[in-house]
A and B are shown apart, each in its own frame.
Chain A
C-alpha cells in the first residue's frame, strides 16, 4: 500500500473515458422520457438556428448568383471619365498591363453604328473587341457560338434581332448583316468603317441593340481610343491595389467586388438577425438541459456519494457530469442539423419544381447547409454542453459522501 502517489502529484481521472461515457449513457437512458424531451428541445433549438442561418446563406448565394452571374470577381472594368482628356489608348493600356499582379488586359472599342439586315436598318452600339473580352463580360448566350471564329463573325443581342424583325435567335444564326460605324484616328480624323458580317451567336442582355465584332477592322482603320478595358488581377486580394493604381492614371474603375461587398454586408446583418431569432429557441433548449442535469444530480446525490466512498475522485465525478451534458448537447446538435438539412432540402426541391413550372431553369438553393455551418454548430453545441455542465459538475465535486449517502 502506498498512501502518497509521489509521481502523481495532480491526480486526474484514471477511470477509462469509454467506461465513463458508457455510465453517462446509461444514466441518461435510465430516464428515457426526460432525456428524450430534453433532447427534442435541443434538436428544435439547434434546428431553428441552422434552418434560419441556412436560409440566409442560401439566399445570399442565390442573390450573388443572380447579380454576378459568371463574372470573375478578379476583373476590373476601366473607362475614361472624359474621353477627350484622359485617353484610353494603347500607351495607357500598356502602362496598366505593366502593373504588378495584372494577369491580362482586354480592350474594347465601343462605338455608335448602324446595322442593315435584308433592307432593315437600325441604330446599334458596336463593340470591337476580342474573344477574351467577351468571355470576361459573362454574357448570357441564347443561340450559336459564344466566340468569334473569323474576323467576319458577329454576335448580336436579342434586342437587335427584334428591331430588325428576326425574333427567333436560332434562325438568325448564319444570316448576314452590314455594320457601319465611324472611328477617330490618332490624328483626330473621323473614318467610316463598313463591315459585312455573319451572325454566329445571339446573346440576351436585356438592354438596347448591341453588336460584338472582331476589333481588327477598327485597328486597321487606325482607331486610337478604346471605350472600355477589362483588367484581370492575379487574385481577388490584388484587385484593390490595382484599382488604386489605375485610378492614379485618372481612369474610372468598377469591380463586381463593389456589388459583392454590399451584398455581403446586407446578408451578414440578415444572418445575425435570423440567428438571433433562432438563438432564442436555443437558449430555451440550453436552459432545459441545465434543468435536466441539475435534477439528475439531485436525484443521484447518494449515487455520487457511493462512488466517492468507492474511490471516485473529483475529476471522475466532474467528467461524468460533463459527458452526460455533452451526450445531450452533441446528439441534440446533430439531430438539429439533420432536421434543418432535411426540411431545407424539401423546400429547395419544392421551390425548384415550382420555378421549373414557371420556366426558370436550374436548381434553387434557398437553403444552404454548408460544412462550415455544420462544424460551427457542432462546436457551439459542445461549448453549450460544457457551459451547462459547469455548475452541476462543480456542485457534484463538492458533495460530502457521508451527507450524500444519507440524502435519500
Chain B
C-alpha cells in the first residue's frame, strides 16, 4: 500500500502549509465553531491532514463528531473559523465564494446522504445541471448526462421527475450528477446511509471504479465499517478531532470497536427514550 496520507493529529503549527508536490488537499490547523444563543460550540478542533491525488479517503466516526462539517469545509461550502484548506497548494478560502463555486463546478462532485433536486426539472436536466453551470450547451450537456445515467443504469428514467423514483434510484441518479462534469474530487456524505445493500454496493462499486480506473480522488464520510477496507486513507474522528488516522487498511481495530460501542450506546439510549 502506498503512503498516501500524512497525518499528524497533534500538529498545531499553522505555518506548515507549504506546497506538497502531489498532495491534492492539505488541511492545516483547522478549527470550526458555531455561534449559538447559548454560546460558541466547537465542532472541529486542530485538524491537520493531507490527502494525495487518486486516494480513496474515508472520514469515519460516530454521529456528531464533525465529519459532515469537515466535508463541507473541504468542498468550499463552509468557511473554517481558523486554519487553512489548500487545494493543490493554494488556499481555498483566500478566493471569493464565486471563485470557489466555479472551481467546485469544474472539479468537484458531491453526493449527499439526502437527495436534493431542482423539482421542476426532470432527471436528465438535473444530472446535466453541473454542466450547465460551467457553460456547456444544453445538447452536449444532456448527451453527457444520458451517458452518466447509463453508467448508473437509470437511463430509462431520464425524462421522469426525480421525486417519483425510489430512494435507491434517486441516489444512483445523484451519483450520475456528481460524476457528470468529470470532477477530479468526489465528496460523498453517507451516500449509502439510506440504501439497501444492493444499491449501496452499486454506489460503492462506482466510487471505487472512479478512483481505480479514472484516477479520481474520493473522500467518503461514512458510519459503515464495512467500507474501511476499500479505502487507502482513513481519518477517525471523535468530538471534532482526528484521534486516529491510517494509511492503507491500518486503522486499529480498537477504534472500530470503540466506534461500534459508541453507536450501540446511542441506539440503546434511543430505545430507552422511546420506552
Interface locus among A80-88, A273-281, A309-317, A351-359: A309-317
CB-CB under 8 A from A315, the residues of chain B are: 98
CB-CB under 8 A from A309, the residues of chain B are: 75, 77, 104, 110, 112
CB-CB under 8 A from B75, the residues of chain A are: 309
Is the pair A30, B119 in contact by a Cβ cutoff of 8 Å? yes
Is the pair B133, A1 in contact by a Cβ cutoff of 8 Å? no
- Give, as a whole number of angstroms, the nearest-CB distance from A3 to chain B: 5
Interface string of A332-354 (1 = CB under 8 A from B): 00000000000000000000000
Is the pair A1, B116 in contact by a Cβ cutoff of 8 Å? no
CB-CB under 8 A from A307, the residues of chain B are: 118, 129, 133
Is the pair A308, B132 in contact by a Cβ cutoff of 8 Å? no
Is the pair B99, A402 in contact by a Cβ cutoff of 8 Å? no
Is the pair B120, A3 in contact by a Cβ cutoff of 8 Å? no
- Give, as a whole number of angstroms, the nearest-CB distance from A305 to chain B: 7
Distance of A303 Cα from B78 Cα, bound (Å): 17
CB-CB under 8 A from A311, the residues of chain B are: 101-106, 108, 130, 133-134
Is the pair B138, A19 in contact by a Cβ cutoff of 8 Å? yes
CB of B135 within 8 A of chain A? Answer: yes
CB of B95 within 8 A of chain A? Answer: yes
- Give, as a whole number of angstroms, the nearest-CB distance from B54 to chain A: 13
CB-CB under 8 A from A405, the residues of chain B are: 112, 114, 116
Is the pair A305, B99 in contact by a Cβ cutoff of 8 Å? no
Is the pair A401, B77 in contact by a Cβ cutoff of 8 Å? yes
B interface, size bucket: 35 or more
Which listed residue (A27, A30, A306, A313) contacts B102, Cβ 8 A?
A: A313
Given A305-B116, A306-B118, A401-B77: A16 in contact with B132 (beta carbons within 8 A): yes
CB-CB under 8 A from B121, the residues of chain A are: 23, 26
Interface string of A1-35 (1 = CB under 8 A from B): 11111000001001110110011001101100000
- Give, as a whole number of angstroms, the nearest-CB distance from A15 to chain B: 5
Chain A interface, DSSP helix/strand/loop, else mixed: helix
Is the pair B118, A1 in contact by a Cβ cutoff of 8 Å? no
Is the pair B110, A23 in contact by a Cβ cutoff of 8 Å? no
Which listed residue (A1, A19, A29, A302) contacts B103, Cβ 8 A?
A: A1
- Give, as a whole number of angstroms, the nearest-CB distance from A193 to chain B: 88
Which listed residue (A4, A30, A302) contacts B99, Cβ 8 A?
A: A4
- Give, as a whole number of angstroms, the nearest-CB distance from B133 to chain A: 4
Given A11-B96, A311-B105, A402-B72: A16 in contact with B135 (beta carbons within 8 A): yes
Interface positions, chain B 71-118, Cβ under 8 Å from A, are 72, 75, 77-78, 87-88, 90, 92, 95-99, 101-108, 110, 112, 114, 116-118
Distance of A158 Cα from B90 Cα, bound (Å): 98
Is the pair A27, B120 in contact by a Cβ cutoff of 8 Å? yes
CB of B29 within 8 A of chain A? Answer: no
- Give, as a whole number of angstroms, the nearest-CB distance from B118 to chain A: 5
Distance of A312 Cα from B133 Cα, bound (Å): 6
Which A residues are within 8 Å of any B CB, using their own CB? 1-5, 11, 14-16, 18-19, 22-23, 26-27, 29-30, 300, 302-303, 305-316, 401-402, 405
Which B residues are within 8 Å of any A CB, using their own CB? 72, 75, 77-78, 87-88, 90, 92, 95-99, 101-108, 110, 112, 114, 116-121, 125, 129-130, 132-135, 137-138, 177, 184
Can you report 27 A-B residue pairs in the complex whose CB atoms are below 8 A from each other? Answer: A1-B106, A4-B90, A14-B102, A16-B132, A16-B137, A18-B138, A23-B125, A27-B120, A30-B119, A300-B119, A303-B117, A303-B118, A307-B133, A308-B77, A309-B110, A309-B112, A310-B129, A311-B102, A311-B104, A311-B105, A311-B106, A311-B108, A312-B101, A313-B98, A313-B101, A316-B133, A405-B114
Closest 6 CB pairs of A and B: A311-B105, A30-B120, A14-B135, A306-B116, A26-B120, A313-B98
